Amino acid sequence: MTNPTYINDRLVEWGDQVFEPPLRKARPKKDQHTSLWLSAYHAWKGVEPGHRGTLIREQIERTITKAPEVMVKITSKKNAGKGMKAIANHLSYISRNGKLEIETDQGELIIGKAALKDLFSDWQTDATGSVIPEESHERLATNLMFSMPKGTPSKELHDCVRSVLHEEIQGRYAFVFALHEDTDHVHAHVCVKRAALKRGPLFALKKADLARWRERFASHLRDHGIEANATPRRTRGVTKESLPLEIYHLAQAGRQKHIQKRPIAVAAEGLFERERAVWGNIGATLKASPVVSDQHLANGIKAFMQEVFNAPAINSNVDIVRDDSTRDLGVKR
CATH code of 71-223, in short, is 3.30.930.30
Q: Determine the residue type at 315.
A: N
List the one residue out of 74, 69, 219 whose CA is nearest residue 145. Answer: 74
Q: What is the mean pLDDT of residues 31-36?
A: 45
Residue 318, pLDDT score: 36
Domain ranges of the chain: 4-67+267-309, 71-223
Q: How confident is the prediction for the chain on average, in pLDDT?
A: 80
Q: Report the percent of the chain where pLDDT is more than 90.
A: 53
Coil vs helix vs strand at 162: helix
The more confidently predicted of residues 50 and 144 is 144
Instruction: Using pLDDT thresholds of 50, 70 and 90, give the confidence band for residue 241.
Output: low
Q: How confident is the model at residue 26 (pLDDT cuts 50, 70, 90)?
A: very low
CA distance 123 to 331: 21
Higher pLDDT, 332 or 228: 228
SS (H, E, C) 264-306: CCCCHHHCCHHHHHHHHHHHHHHHCCCCHHHHHHHHHHHHHHH
Beta strand spans in 1-90 (E): 71-74
pLDDT band at 315 (very low <50, low <70, confident <90, very high): very low
pLDDT digits (tens, 9 = 90+) for 72-128: 999 988 889 999 999 999 999 999 999 999 999 999 999 999 999 999 999 998 777
